[in-house]
């Protein structure tokens, strides 16, 4: 009957107990015979699930997926239902394993599910579901071991069989782990998770990019802001009493810290740690009064670094040897320790000084750099730019003076920051894909099985003659052949590039000055073809238009840059213009969106990225600019504004 059919259809998804409950509830009004038939059907249908669970346990103990494959092939039914049943069976086996925690057993089961996916007998999401279940049930110390397995198999997760089905599961799993971890106490584990995600997803994955260059404003450095509670400036006897107690025999003579020669008071302490707020939120530096404060505090801090330099004698020789022998492995603190009692030790520590100076360089790079979403008001004046340039030189000088290996460290930092400029440019361009598809390059790479050997072939060492190479172009230039402009070989960029190389080697016309201006490479080649047609034998050149009437042979412009073409001459919309238009549009930006042919999904993404209507309007214009590229011109934007009913904004843009 109908109820029995429902049981048959849903059994592959539900467990046996769930189906029994379903039948007892839904069949309450049925007669006794129907109930017995339904329960008999349950017993029949529960056989595949039970059999697959037993087979999975047998495969797990034997560490081979063959028993599972054999049973799967013997069970009747369609593939989808059988896969769903096996998925449920594997989760059932995991439920039994959870009762007695053993990471090896969990990993063996997950390996078994991976083999099952490879053999096509279970769903591609099953290994990720099992991983998520395991991590949800285990304490953090065991999660660390399971995650090591996840890291080691990143190549498996990126394969075609798993990536599409599992990327969202892995992202959710990693985010759940990060929510359980403490950034200050589990710093290394958090870093491993972030590195794993960076390896798993491509660089252009939007979920991992800070597209709007937002800052982590929650990273606040807490320090003593009440001078009355400060212990700095007290007598040395009081400092000794309040200082850290050291048990006798705990520190040797060579390890005892030298008395600090840096005069530290509460003023220096307060100004030094206040700078962290500017490093946290660099936008403050564009405010006039905040900049003056930053300038004053920075000058005093860097003056202390410059006046009281570190040398190898100040640091313990044993500590340096341990650092070099450890291969860079040392304790890492996620937050600065801001106790007043540690101030003298921190300023005498080479690593601490490097951290602070590196923060300066990162801040300066942001202030000077071109950031797409930086407000139009965030502009440095000449005095600020000059101070930053001068201070940057001072910071690099101080980095070189810090032992050990100061020169090497400063050079490495400078290289990394220069490389960072490339990433900034990539983000400003809308994060285009790194994959460049070219049919011509694909054809070239497949000409021969061994391309390197093919390049050494003697047949490649040749240069065609002018008449052979330009014969087709000269023939097409003859008006009698009636070849349309768009179909001429001179319009082919590849042909044009080779033609220029050949002309530079074989034709005297290439270096002759001319007063004639050309709008494109094709026009220039048309002119050269006309000249060559006169010189080459057996080619009727009298019918070909030479185009030399205006050439007085005395100019010096051989080929006008192709940027003078009308499409490039059109004025592109600037960042300042987009800021002005966004401010005028405000909450009405959606009226313009339809005339810019923006999709509904793009509009939802804009509303998600920002709640501020002015920023939403700016994001709309930026998205349009990224999509249109060189066609994002003032003329096209004016047309869209007029169509949307913003004629006043369009007029102001046209007059700008």
For residue 364, what pLDDT is reported? 96
The listed range with the strongest mean pLDDT (20-24, 209-213, 505-509, 576-580) is 576-580
CA atoms within 13 A on the CB side of 60: 20
What confidence score (pLDDT) does residue 179 get? Answer: 93
Q: Are 161 and 123 in contact (CB under 8 A)?
A: no
| Residue predicted with more confidence, 551 or 303 | 303
DSSP letter string, 133-169? HHHHHS-HHHHHHHHHHHHHTHHHHTSTTTHHHHHHH
Query: For residue 435, what pLDDT band results from cuts at 50, 70 and 90?
Result: confident
Contact predicate 343/232, CB 8 Å: yes
Low-confidence winner among 1-15, 20-34, 425-439, 612-626 (lowest mean pLDDT):
1-15
The stretch 251-267 carries a mean pLDDT of 62
pLDDT at 323: 54
Q: What pLDDT does 366 receive?
A: 93
**Partners of 633 in the β-ladder:** 572
Query: Residue 1 has what pLDDT?
Result: 41
pLDDT digits (tens, 9 = 90+) for 66-97: 888 888 888 888 888 888 888 989 998 898 88
* Per-residue pLDDT tens over the stretch 136-165: 999 998 999 999 999 999 999 999 889 999
- What is the reported pLDDT for 419? 93
The reported pLDDT for the residue numbered 629 is 73
pLDDT digits (tens, 9 = 90+) for 187-204: 899 999 999 999 999 877
Candidates 551, 549, 465; CA nearest to 512 is 551
Confidence of residue 528 (pLDDT cuts 50, 70, 90): confident
Percent of the chain with pLDDT over 70: 79
Confidence of residue 62 (pLDDT cuts 50, 70, 90): confident
* Domain 575-655: top CATH class: mainly alpha
In tens, the pLDDT along 634-646 reads 888 888 888 888 8
Asked whether residue 262 carries a pLDDT value surpassing 80, the answer given is no
Nearest to 516 by CA among 505, 504, 528: 528
pLDDT over threshold 80, residue 460: no
Low-confidence winner among 62-71, 439-448, 519-528 (lowest mean pLDDT): 439-448
Question: pLDDT tens, 530-539?
Answer: 888 877 655 5
pLDDT band, very low/low/confident/very high, at 244 (cuts 50, 70, 90): very low
Q: How far apart are CA 150 and CA 168, in angstroms?
A: 14
Q: Which residue has the higher pLDDT, 514 or 88?
A: 88
How confident is residue 303, by pLDDT bands cut at 50, 70 and 90?
Answer: very high
More confident position, 398 or 457 = 398
**The pLDDT of residue 472 is above 70:** yes
Would you state the pLDDT for residue 537? 59
Contacts for 326-335: CB closer than 8 Å, 24+ residues apart: 332/187, 332/188, 333/184, 334/183, 334/184, 334/187, 335/184, 335/221
CB 34 within 8 A of CB 42: no
Share of the chain above pLDDT 90, in %: 29
- Mean pLDDT, the chain, rounded, equals 79
Which residue did the predictor score with more confidence, 48 or 15? 48
Q: Give me the pLDDT at residue 399, please.
A: 95
Which residues lie below 8 Å from residue 316, measured CB to CB, with a gap of 6+?
A: 254, 255
């Amino acid at each position: 009957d109908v109820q029995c059919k429902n049981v048959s259809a849903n059994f592959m998804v539900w467990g046996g107990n769930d189906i029994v409950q379903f039948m007892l509830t839904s069949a309450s009004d049925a007669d006794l015979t129907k109930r017995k038939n339904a329960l008999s059907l349950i017993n029949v249908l529960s056989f595949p699930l039970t059999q697959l669970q037993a087979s999975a346990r047998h495969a797990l103990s034997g560490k081979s997926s063959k028993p599972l494959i054999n049973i799967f092939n013997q069970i009747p039914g369609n593939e989808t239902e059988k896969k769903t049943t096996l998925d449920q069976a594997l989760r059932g086996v995991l439920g039994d394993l959870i009762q007695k925690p053993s990471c090896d057993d969990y990993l063996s089961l997950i390996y078994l599910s991976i083999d099952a996916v490879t053999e096509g007998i279970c769903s591609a999401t099953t290994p990720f579901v099992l991983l998520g279940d395991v991590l949800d049930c285990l304490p953090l110390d065991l999660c660390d071991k399971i995650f090591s397995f996840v890291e080691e198999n990143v190549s498996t997760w990126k394969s075609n069989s798993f990536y599409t089905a599992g990327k969202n599961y892995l992202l959710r799993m990693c985010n759940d782990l990060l929510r359980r971890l403490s950034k200050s106490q589990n710093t290394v584990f958090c870093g491993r998770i972030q590195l794993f995600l960076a390896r798993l997803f491509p660089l252009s994955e939007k979920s991992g990019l800070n597209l709007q260059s937002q800052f982590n404003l929650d990273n606040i450095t807490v320090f003593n802001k009440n001078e009355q509670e400060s212990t700095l400036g007290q007598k040395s006897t009081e400092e000794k009493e309040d200082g850290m107690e050291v048990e006798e025999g705990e520190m040797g003579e060579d390890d005892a810290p030298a008395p600090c020669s840096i005069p530290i008071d509460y003023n220096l302490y307060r100004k030094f740690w206040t700078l962290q707020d500017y490093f946290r939120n660099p936008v403050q530096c564009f405010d006039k009064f905040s900049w003056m404060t930053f300038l004053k505090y920075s000058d005093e801090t860097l003056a202390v670094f410059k006046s009281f330099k570190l040398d190898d004698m100040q640091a313990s020789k044993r500590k340096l040897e341990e650092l070099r022998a450890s291969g860079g492995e040392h304790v890492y603190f996620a937050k600065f320790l801001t106790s007043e009692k540690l101030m003298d030790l921190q300023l005498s520590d080479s690593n601490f000084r490097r951290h602070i100076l590196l923060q300066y360089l990162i801040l300066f790079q942001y202030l000077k750099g071109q950031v797409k979403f930086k407000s139009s008001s965030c502009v440095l004046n000449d005095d600020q730019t000059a101070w930053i340039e001068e201070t940057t030189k001072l910071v690099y000088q101080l980095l070189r003076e810090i032992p050990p290996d100061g020169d090497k460290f400063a050079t490495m930092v400078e290289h990394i920051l220069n490389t960072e400029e490339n990433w900034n440019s990539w983000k400003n361009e809308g994060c285009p894909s790194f994959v460049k598809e070219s049919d011509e390059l694909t054809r070239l790479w497949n000409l021969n099985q061994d391309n390197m050997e093919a390049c050494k072939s003697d047949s490649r060492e040749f240069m065609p003659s002018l008449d052979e190479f330009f014969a087709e172009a000269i023939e097409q230039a003859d008006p009698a052949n009636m070849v349309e402009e768009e179909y001429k070989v001179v319009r082919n960029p590849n042909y044009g590039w080779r033609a220029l190389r050949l002309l530079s080697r074989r034709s005297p016309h290439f270096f002759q000055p001319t007063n004639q201006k050309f709008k494109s490479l094709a026009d220039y080649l048309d002119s050269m073809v006309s000249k060559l047609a006169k010189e080459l034998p057996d080619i009727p050149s009298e019918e070909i238009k030479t185009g030399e009437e205006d050439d007085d042979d005395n100019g010096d412009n051989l080929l006008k840059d192709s940027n003078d073409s009308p499409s490039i001459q059109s004025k592109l919309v600037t960042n300042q213009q987009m800021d002005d238009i966004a401010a005028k549009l405000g909450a009405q930006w959606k009226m313009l969106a339809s005339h810019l042919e923006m999709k509904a999904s793009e509009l939802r993404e804009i509303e998600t990225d920002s709640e501020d209507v002015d920023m939403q309007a700016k994001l709309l214009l930026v998205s349009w600019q990224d999509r249109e590229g060189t066609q994002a011109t003032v003329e096209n934007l004016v047309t869209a504004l007029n169509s949307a009913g913003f004629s006043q904004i369009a007029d102001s843009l046209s007059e700008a």
